[in-house]
Copies of this chain bind each other. A is one copy, B any other.
Amino acid sequence: MDHAITPTGKHDHAHCVSSALAAAEARCAGTAKLTQSRRRVLEIVWESHRPLGAYDILDRMAKNGNPAKPPTVYRALNFLLEQGLIHRLESMNAFIGCGSSRVDGHAAQFLICRDCNMALELDDPVLRKALDRAAENSGFKVDRCMVEFTGVCANCQKAA
Contacts and interface: CB of A to CB of B under 8 A. Distances in A.
**Overall SS of chain A's interface:** mixed
A111 B140 contact: yes
Interface residues of A, number: 37
A142 B138 contact: no
B148 A145 contact: yes
A131 to B, nearest CB: 7
A7 B124 CA distance: 30
B139 A124 contact: no
Contacts of A122: 134, 138
A132 to B, nearest CB: 10
Interface string A139-160: 1111111111111111001000
* Copies of this protein in the complex: 2
A147 B144 contact: no
A138 B147 CA distance: 15
Interface of A: 7, 90-91, 109, 111, 113-114, 120, 122, 124, 126-127, 129-131, 133-135, 137-154, 157
Given A135-B149, A138-B153, 20 more contacts: A7-B139, A90-B90, A90-B148, A114-B143, A120-B138, A124-B134, A124-B137, A126-B133, A127-B130, A127-B134, A129-B130, A130-B131, A131-B147, A139-B153, A140-B151, A141-B151, A142-B151, A145-B150, A146-B146, A146-B148
